[in-house]
Amino acid sequence: MADENDGGMSVAWFFVGAAVGAAAALLLAPQSGEETRRALRRKAEEGRDVVSRSGKDVLERGKELFEKGKELADEAAEVFEKGKRALGA
């Protein structure tokens, strides 16, 4: 289960690392300042989009897990109440 939860974050960090690497490569490339700034701006926007999508995926997964946990807690409470009634408490 831990591996399942870490998957989304690993992918997000991979893309963040790729964006940082791309930015470093652009800074070291023999281009004009304007071309470099334009490329950096484009890469920053791409990185922001990737992080945003990953965040939304993590949020959705969290909501799903919350709902599943809530259902399990409700079922456990129901079983507990049935057990209490069976014991005559």
Among 1-5, 28-32, 44-48, 84-88, the least confident range:
1-5
Q: Which residues of 21-39 are buried (b: 16+ CB within 10 A; e: fewer)?
A: ebbeebeeeeeeeeebeeb
Write out the residue range of the structural domain in which residue 11 sits: 2-86
Convert the pLDDT of each residue in 49-66 to its tens digit.
888 888 888 888 999 999
Kindly indicate the confidence band of residue 2, based on its pLDDT and cuts at 50, 70 and 90. Answer: very low
Do residues 16 and 47 touch, judged by C-beta distance below 8 A?
A: yes
Convert the pLDDT of each residue in 25-51 to its tens digit.
767 777 677 887 888 788 888 888 888
- Structural domain count, the chain: 1
- CA separation for the pair 70, 77 (Å, rounded): 11
Task: Determine if the pTM surpasses 0.75.
Answer: no
